[in-house]
Structure 1
Amino acid sequence: MNLFPKLQKRAEEGNPIRVGLIGAGKFGSMFLAQASRLPGIHVVGVADLSPDNAKSNLDFVGWPTERYAAANLDDAFAKGTTHVGEDAAALIAHPGIEIVIEATGHPPAAVEHCLYAFGHGKHVINVTVEADAFCGFGLAQAAEKAGVIYSMAYGDQPALTCDLVDWARTCGFIVTAAGRGHKWLPKYRASTPETVWDHWGLTKEQAERGRLNPKMFNAFLDGSKPAIESAAIANATGLAVPAEGLLFPPGSVDDIPTLMRPESEGGVLAHEGIVEVVSCLTRDGEQIQNDIRKGVWVCFRGDTDYIKNCFEEYKVTTDPSGRYMSLFKKWHMIGLELGVSIAAVGLRKEATGFATCHNADAVAVAKRDLAAGEMLDGEGGYTVSGGLRPSSISVPQGHLPLGLAHNVKLLTPIKEGAVVTWADVEADTTSAAYELRKEMEVATLAKQKAA
């Protein structure tokens, strides 16, 4: 509860936390919009494959030109300004950088950047949750071995959900479920970048004004991001996931305690201790009032009559039995909140969530009948969407992680709704992401057999 005063102290001492940002897209731009308001944090460099686009985004969010006009990283470090370039490796390796923020949104590249940063003794805040979903546990282990910190990005829903779960457990409550909200109807599974804005609720003009990427936003709509983020939450908290994927039960924030109980008690859960997503639409497509579409929540149980009575005495919203309650954060502000992670990692040497196990995967599911020879285009595209599965199913059955379903050729035809497997694709076996994932699968299989 004292991060901001500590940041102020670092500023007063002339010793800010020095960070490097890789990827100046939507998330990165949102963080950069806040950076000038954050004492004790110095963005030494921004690396992007298109420096001109990065500079345009800096202009767009209000940075004066002179602030990012440093000729190189050394110049930026000395003057307290920022250098914009395209060399991510140089940014990572610069001795003045303490924390690397990986925000490319490109899973294989993100894994390479993380591992390279660990090798240079740098902490990493990984915004590219698609990479965390399929090899977060491997990255966390690699960071621990290197003696550095690997962290989720505060502002994204996984880190915020982990925060709520940690709060509930630290208070002594029994967590029955946790997750995020979403706007969901089954037909959205087939959505493409061409249909996303009508479903999302924005006009094309509004999307263009905000420089919004239709493929990225479609990844939210078609169920991919909910699967990805739910996998990350499960792997960070140790919660389980539904065997056949997310149910997306419709409900308001006040419905969460009733929904997130075991089926035996009138809820939707197969059992306690699970990740789920609540939809803001009824199955008929009607908007639910007081929804949790943009937020996160945790549901927990009071296991004694005394705690039940406390819930009643303090007039909290519970399920009909009075034993289940929820706490929620109704909104998440994405990159605008990233300063919390930077402060936590830089000041306390503490991650804002990281994978502690390999419980779950977001796997590639065919959006339509796919023919052999087609190229998969990853989350939010035209060919596949994400489906959440327990690793006890996904690993033994050889399911292809969605984060590695980018620009890979299908070797066999796949029916709509079927999960794509490693055997169905011509995978790039030379990437660091592939190698780390396969190492994780071997370890996960061994653990499953031992159990």
Structure 2
Amino acid sequence: TVWGHYGFSESQVAGGDFNPQMFNSFLDGTKSALEMAAVANACGLTPPRDGLAFPPCGVDDLPGILKPAADGGLLTERGTVEVVSSVERDGRPVFRDLRWGVYAVFEAPSPYVRDCFAQYGLKTDSSGRFAATYKPYHLIGLELGISVASIAVRGEATGATGEWRGDVAATAKRALRAGERLDGEGGFTVYGKLMPAAESLAQDALPIGLAHNMILKTDVPAGRAVRWSDVAYDAGQEAIRVRREMEDLFRGATGRPAG
């Protein structure tokens, strides 16, 4: 039933290369979690501890809502990532939504910068300290070619992981039973939940990117991260082996016992 949420007609779907599971991963929060984990890891930001909140927010309200709770906003801390919803909780469309765009909210580090916000006409919160910049469109496929050319011609990446700060755990969409097969991003069994990498390690969480065709050995309650101990897996598969080695490496770096 995913196509109705996008407004795609049956003829559109029949005439194109549409993958319903992929499009569903956009709606259940998995894609947003993966993208924000990448941003956190590239920019040194800390993901929210209990996943993305998706607050309804239009472009005019970005600096007032996406600031720390201590300053009157909704964020649990500074230096974090979040994704805004284009639909109010009661189903109404958000005024001046940013469904197709991207944004950043930032705080003035000094009175001079705060004054510049006002002088240059930036949209700010009531204090004038927090401002936002946004672009109404995100030209994904077109921008990709620029990134490839930048790497090939200049040897310059448009983004790179600096440290492991965010992870995306496979989380049960409903109560799962032993013997069920996980079907990955956008499927019926799990979605991807963003969390700090340290929390993912503490929970021994299975990453969403590897939650494909694994058979559950135990029941998993709805809303809980699936753990490595919950599933049967082939430790010799390259992707799994590299992931487990990475986990052990970071456990060692943080003083946690390798398991």
TM bucket normalised to smaller: over 0.9
Paired residue type of 1:281: V
CA shift for structure 1 position 268:
1.0
CA distance in 2, matches of 1:399, 1:440: 13
Match of 1:387?
A: 193
Output aligned runs, 1:405-444, within 5 Å.
405-444=211-250
Q: Which residue of 1 aligns with 2:174?
A: 368
Unaligned runs of 5+ in 1: 1-194
Within-5 A mapping of 1:233-244 = 233-244=39-50
Larger radius of gyration: 1
> Which residue in 2 is equivalent to 1:35?
none
Give the drift of 1:436: 1.2
AA paired with 1:437?
Answer: R
Mark the runs of 5 or more structure 2 residues left unpaired by the alignment.
none
What's 2:145 paired with?
339
1:197: which partner in 2? 3
1:248 aligns with 2:54: yes
Deviation track 1:92-151 (CA, whole Å, cap 9, x = no partner) reads xxxxxxxxxxxxxxxxxxxxxxxxxxxxxxxxxxxxxxxxxxxxxxxxxxxxxxxxxxxx
Corresponding residue for 1:218? 24
Q: Aligned partners of 1:205, 1:291: CA distance in 2, in Å?
A: 28
**1:68-95 deviation line (CA, Å, top 9, x unaligned):** xxxxxxxxxxxxxxxxxxxxxxxxxxxx
SS of 1:229 mapped into structure 2: helix
Tell me, in whole angstroms, the C-alpha distance in 2 between the residues paired with 1:356 and 1:341: 18
Instruction: Name the SS of the counterpart of 1:338 in structure 2.
Output: helix
**TM-score between both structures, scaled by the size of structure 1:** 0.55
Q: 2:70 aligns with which of 241, 253, 264?
A: 264
1:126-141 matches, cutoff 5 A = none
Name the structure where helix makes up a greater proportion of residues: 1
**2:14 paired residue among 198, 208, 220:** 208
Q: Please report how far the alpha carbon of residue 364 of structure 1 lies from its aligned counterpart in structure 2 after TM superposition.
A: 0.6
1:319 corresponds to which of 125, 128, 135: 125
- Alignment equivalent of 1:377, drawn from 151, 166, 183: 183
TM-score, normalised with respect to structure 2:
0.95
Runs of 4+ in 1 over 3 A off after TM superposition: none
Letter in 2 for 1:314: Y
**RMSD value, Cα:** 1.3
- Determine the C-alpha separation between the residues in 1 that align with 2:244 and 2:82: 27
Name the structure 2 match of 1:96.
none
Q: Give the Cα–Cα distance (whole angstroms) in 1 for the partners of residues 10 and 195 of structure 2.
A: 34
Paired positions, count: 256
Residue 287 of structure 1: aligned partner = 93
